[in-house]
Amino acid sequence: LNSPLTGTGFFDKISKYLKSLALFVVIGYLIGTMLDIMLETNFYAPILAISLLLVWILKVFGKDLKPPAGKNK
């Protein structure tokens, strides 16, 4: 029985996704914070963090939603 939900493969994938997610959001937040400091505003950080979060979601799930090549027999 080799279900994708059991075994280490699934958790490796999830932790890899979460690490890249954290990286994306942190980078967006840091860039936004630098913009906020330079422009003396306080809304760029959340906007950039959220937009990078959305980009990440589209990147990850867009890739997973496409049918795998060579399986359409």
Asked whether residue 2 is domain-assigned, the answer is no
Type of residue at 12: D
pTM of the model: 0.58
Asked whether residue 72 is domain-assigned, the answer is no
Mean pLDDT within 26-46: 90
- The count of structural domains within the chain is 1
- The rounded distance, in Å, linking the Cα atoms of 24 and 56 is 7
Asked whether residue 1 is domain-assigned, the answer is no
Q: Give residue 54's domain range.
A: 20-63
In this prediction, residue 69 carries a pLDDT of 62
Long-range CB contacts for residues 47-54, cutoff 8 Å, separation at least 24? 49/25, 52/24, 52/25, 52/27, 52/28, 53/21, 53/24, 53/25, 53/28
In angstroms, the Cα distances linking 24 to 6, 58, 59, 62, 73 are 27, 12, 11, 16, 37
Q: Which residue has the higher pLDDT, 43 or 2?
A: 43
